[in-house]
Amino acid sequence: MPDFPSFGAILTIAFVLWFVVNFVLPSRKHPDISRYVTAAPLMTPMEQRTIDHIETALPWARVHAQVSMGALLKPVRGLNRSKSTTVRNRFSSKRVDYVIEHRGTGRVVLLIELDDRTHNRAADAARDRITAAAGYITLRLPAGERPSADNVRQRIRSAFLQHPQLARLQSDQF
């Protein structure tokens, strides 16, 4: 009479089969994570209201929300692959709240950050130095000042007045 495997042996075989099907057979470089994701909102309600104020203040502009800094910045030429990757990794996953693009030229003219009480001044200053080094101007809408059509328009106007390179874009709309 044949010997049947013990319950422990069956359990071990089942585990090995489960492991192979779930972890060995799928590509190790590109595992299927589709069952582990769900949709996330692009913007908070405050960010949604703020983008409306920005678009009203700048009707000549195209406003992009939640843009990856990796889409706006790149490492300088001449770095070796390792250094280039290190530099890119420092900014590529960070996001800019709003990118203001001139509709006519496609040029990015302003970055706008909606600060809140969770923002860290030192980290914000470091981000602003990085974007400024690439030639971008950043306007920060301060925490504690609930964005309204009037104060967003006024802060944008002030940014345009403070930066001569933006002066030619300024119009009577302010």
Fold of 45-167: Endonuclease; Chain A (3.40.960)
Largest CA distance in the chain: 97
Closest C-alpha to 47, from 67, 66, 72, 60: 66
Chunked mean pLDDT (size 10), the chain, 174 residues:
73 81 66 90 93 96 96 95 93 94 94 88 92 96 91 95 79 47
Q: Which tokens is 10 given?
A: 């069956």
Question: Hey, where are the domains in the chain?
Answer: 7-36, 45-167
Q: What is the pTM of this model?
A: 0.77
